[in-house]
Amino acid sequence: MFEDEFRKRLSELCTRKKVSARDMSLSIGQNPSYINRIENGIMMPSMSVFLSICDYLNITPSEFFNTNNSSPERLRNVIKKLESLSSSKFNNIAAVIEDLTN
Which residues span the domain enclosing 81?
Answer: 71-102
Q: In this structure, are 60 and 94 located in the same domain?
A: no
Looking at residue 30, what is its pLDDT? 96
Express each pLDDT in 58-74 by its tens digit.
999 999 999 888 888 88
Express each pLDDT in 22-60 by its tens digit.
999 999 999 999 999 999 999 999 999 999 999 999 999
Q: In this structure, are 63 and 77 located in the same domain?
A: no
C-beta of residue 45 within 8 angstroms of C-beta of residue 9:
no
Residue 1 pLDDT exceeds 80: no
pLDDT, average across residues 6-20: 92
Looking at residue 73, what is its pLDDT? 86
Q: In this structure, are 62 and 83 located in the same domain?
A: no
Q: In this structure, are 42 and 89 located in the same domain?
A: no
Sign of the alpha-carbon dihedral angle for 13, 21, 44, 41: positive
Q: In this structure, are 81 and 96 located in the same domain?
A: yes
C-beta of residue 40 within 8 angstroms of C-beta of residue 47:
no
Q: In this structure, are 44 and 85 located in the same domain?
A: no
Q: In this structure, are 15 and 53 located in the same domain?
A: yes
